[in-house]
Structure 1
Amino acid sequence: MHILLVGAGLSGAVIGRQLAEAGHQITVIESRDHVAGNCHTERDPETGVNVHVYGPHIFHTDDQEVWDYVNRFERFLPYKNRVKTTSQGQVFSLPINLHTINQFFGKTMRPDEALAFITEEQADTSIEDPQTFEEQALRFVGRDLYEAFFKGYTIKQWGMDPSQLPASILKRLPVRFNYDDNYFFHKYQGMPENGYTQMVEAILDHPSITVRLNTHFTRDQAGDYDHVFYAGPLDGWFDYELGRLGYRTLDFERFTYQGDYQGCAVMNYGEESVPYTRITEHKHFSPWEEHEGSVLYREFSRACEPGDIPYYPIRQVDEKALLADYVKLAEKTQGVTFVGRLGTYRYLDMDVTIREAMDTAAAFLEKGTEIPAFVKSPL
């Protein structure tokens, strides 16, 4: 069959490769002038640094099949994400760990002492069933740590008070009562040696795959193909006829520095008075390379407007109601399967995106054009 993939990010590339290897003819169209979507990387001509153009992407997974898959196309080298945060005139380690707790409170507690201190003296145990981000933070780390590390950052990132956000957002952030400052806890963690774009180009390098960049999709193109896998915005497929789903977008203030600007890849700024959420120093994402010059981004989060790049789906009550209406429309639509972060309006890590793309391709090989609009429901 002749299959159209809309979007040359991870979803489109992986589905396209799987189906091409099974004998189908694949066309991938991409509105930008490069592949790899928001994980696009490119060499800065001035410094030689491999820059994560749309903000840093760190690969971490417990899925060995996914890990083996990405390493088939690009060698991944070890990388541990060790985040720092500047707050109240000091630099602390994130996620909150024993060093953070001892430094913040001026103590020298052992693990069991710190656990008792946080759970018995700091945590608000009157909150039995946390429903909001703020309640979750107060229940598990207490007001002092919440206000130092989470409150201001969250207001800047999401544009609303943490009391309006669901508790689930904070449940991803661990608190450790040892000195482990590795942000993630997955078995496999690393960075592609030559960047994500080179990896995606390798995935798409197959004689049965045609890639067309700078090509915008319109629904009338779908009729030229046996099936469409659509990784664009779900509401965009329907020309936003029910309204626009809400996203946060990012603005990047790029600057360069001769030497080492901050000594780490990611420095958060937890206070609301600092307008940006963090500064990322991109040469530290490739610690096996050496560069005198440095490329850095200050990140600013704001509401996504038409024409902006959507980053984080908001998925508040209003958005979920609108999403449910779009899902009903999509499920009545023939010949298209919605995939990826934008197509299913979900925040997805890269490994989950690849896993779902592999599963989607397998479902198509089993069911053909009888495949549903969503292999993984957005609801």
Structure 2
Amino acid sequence: MLSFRTHVAAVTGMDDFDEESVLAKIHLADDDILMLSGSLVDGSGTPSSDFDFCVIARSKDERFHRDTFPREQHMRYYTSGDRVKASFDYLPHSLLGVDVEYWTAEEVSALLASHARLYAQMRTRARKSSGFAASAVDFRLLSRLTYGVPLTNAAAYAELTAAVRPGEVAYTAFRAAVGSYPDFRDLAGMWAQGDHASALVAARKLGVDTFRGLTHVHGNTNRNPKYLARFLARLTLPAELTHRFAELNAFGAGERDAADAVLEWLDLIDLAFAEIRAGREKAAAFVGRTDFLGLLREELHENLAWNAEISNEYCFRAREAEPGLPSLRELLHAMTARAAAPHHLPLQEWAKGRTAPAGENNKSA
């Protein structure tokens, strides 16, 4: 009998389950690749988590169509037009559920090829990117392929997923996660108005995004923020960092004044960026410090209207790779005063002799 129990991580309070009852909800064919993944495999699960399976078929069959999908009594299923993509069911007398996604080998291969193109594009960018929306990459499935366990047809699974490179997946996740200058600029605008409560909301978002990025530097490929605290707890990080983040993120400012809480968030984000700088130099798939600064340099051109805003933007953005820049507190106070925070980045030297960028990639010629 097919068994997967040994691949499920220990979860406190988890109900017992019958493997045969779980597998009966999958509608497996003989030549399918069956992959087990999800939070119950990666160790972040709870007693109400689902068993997450992925069926990878050689080609579409009756399970992929709305009218011929083999329904069960309590089953729900997700479709896009006629195409059935997933089914969902619950185990009786248990908080546990069973989720099954349906893919073909051709679709998985196309997804991996799309991600390879996306990764190549991400390596040419210094900005936070939202390129996933147009990339044809289902990042949830992509992440699961980096740690999923094949329960059937392991050889075919290995051949199909040979192009999966977890480090590259982590980098594209990082590039889409790490805190962005527009978010910090919004925070600064709220701060300048004296709207510290709204600034605190913005600071929390900036902090969560940056800490998500930190987990990706350490190889995490899961972009779901609900597991962030659990992923951080697995990393070897200074206790001050993880404890302060857990307190601020989970419990909020408490009795703190909102302005004080914003500044505490900024200090915490500075610490996270320091850890990002240390970690990314050890991550082979990440753009290193020198190359990253080169990407920043390529964006600059000599007829750019230099002002405090431009200087502060690059001061913020360079910190993911460059040490010794003003703290976010200092940058906030400089922006509130409509001034440039002093830093050592040779922005105008970088721009010397460059022409204005052409096209939409924001790079100088």
* TM-score normalised by the chain length of structure 1: 0.25
Larger strand share, 1 or 2: 1
More relative contact order in 1 or in 2 (CA 8 Å, sep 6+)? Answer: 1
Larger helix share, 1 or 2: 2
Q: Which has the larger radius of gyration?
A: 2
* TM-score normalised by the chain length of structure 2: 0.26
